Homo-oligomer: A and B are copies of this chain.
Amino acid sequence: MTDPEFGYVTRENLSLFTDFYELTMLQGYHESGHNPDAVFDLFFRRLPPDRGYMITAGLEQAVYYIENLEFSDRALEYLKEKGFRDSFLDYLQDFEFTGDVRAVPEGTPVFPDEPLMEVEAPIMQAQLFETLLINQVAFQSLVATKAARMKEGVERYGDGQSLVDFGSRRSHGTDAGMKAARAAYIGGFSGTSNVAAGESFGLPVYGTMAHSWVESFDTEEEAFEAYIDEYGEDSILLIDTYDTVGGAETASEVAEERGVNIRGVRIDSGDLAGLSQKVKDVVDTGVFVSSGVDEFKIREFFESGGVASGFGVGTKLVTSRDAPALEGVYKLVASRSRGEMEPRMKLSERKVTWPGRKSVERIERDGTYEKDVLRMGGEIGERDLLVQVFKDGERVYELPDLEEIKVRAQEERRKLPERVRSIEKPVEYPVEIGEGLERAAERLQDELSKL
């Protein structure tokens, strides 16, 4: 047992949630007196399979990190043990962000190569953020996108049925459970079963009973009676412990006997579409469906004639199971040399990193987005998708509340061309490279290859 929080990240060790090389580099910059202003872009190079877009999320946590980052005594003591120099630790003790950040607001559809965040600061500050910013933004974006795809699924194939996150047990650790609940809400979910996420983020929380409730009583009937006696009309009875249709009949009888209009019944196994029809013939309540749900299952469910008021969604949402990683990167795109801010790029991997500060212009026609143009920074002023978040170390952006982000995510998603939003084999959304940027990249590539 090594620490009181036992391996959770808190304020005390948040500054250490970084790769060791960030700190060795920082000490190197510090000791060699090389601390040029630098610009880093957080972006991704490719869309995951079947994704026509990503919904960006996690900026709020990134902002929190930048605003609250400090090296606690515990952190500094550990770094001293690891051999870092006192002069450098003194620097860390007074660490404070003094730079600028621009970012795409949460809930916005984004595409490959577009900066989701742009950090401009002395490299000893900007470098440090890499690990945590990618960690929070990439994961939440994955889940917000997966959720948006399921929302698309219930809108296209059903009647916009409600979706609730049930995934905390299958999420990768506790933070993922928390942030998946948040990101799912942004993507269009109605709430979560995770009580801690409900408390932290003000999300609606849902849930009624597990199979163990039913099994702990001698009969299903007793189990349903005890639940209705406590929760009345709020009851959603789980009916598939022994026999689903039989369970639906028992639920109906018990509700009638108690004189209560229960909210619904839930089916969690078997042929969900077929059972849901049979159950709907028996009960006069909502029918909720869980077990292996994702956007593809939702389509199949409705195409097979399934009937549901809502879905509980677990593993496939919180792990973004078919695409569990977005290869988010945080790349140096410019740094100051002899007084001038110069664009930078890496050459050898044959992956282009567009150099310099950038802007994204999104072009709309008749209420639908037509294409994006990736331009050199500052070219397009207020039409830029990126907004100013920090200026000279001060936050100048008021964080929108979650409802506002959720509304944006729905509205913006619906403005994408329909075929870009397909849950399978989407059409590629065009992202053009502006002329100025294209020329700047060519110039830089020439210079570098002459080195």
Contact = CB atoms under 8 A, between A and B. Distances in A.
Please give the count of copies of this chain that the complex contains. Answer: 2
A203 to B, nearest CB: 10
Interface string A1-44: 11111111111011011111111110111011010101010000
Interface string A74-85: 110011001000
A208 interface: yes
Contacts of A131: 168-169, 194
A172 interface: yes
B123 A212 contact: yes
Contacts of A2: 200-202
B10 A448 contact: no
A446 interface: no
A33 to B, nearest CB: 9
A231 B30 CA distance: 13
Nearest to A58: B173
Contact of A21 (B27, B180, B209, B345): B209
A166 B19 contact: yes
Contacts of A136: 173-174
B242 A200 contact: no
A177 B17 contact: yes
Interface string A92-128: 0000000000000000000000000000000100010
Question: Which has the most chain B C-beta neighbours within 10 Å: A200, A212, A321, A344?
Answer: A212
15 contacts: A8-B8, A8-B14, A16-B196, A20-B194, A21-B207, A23-B195, A25-B209, A34-B217, A127-B210, A135-B177, A139-B173, A172-B319, A212-B332, A243-B347, A321-B324
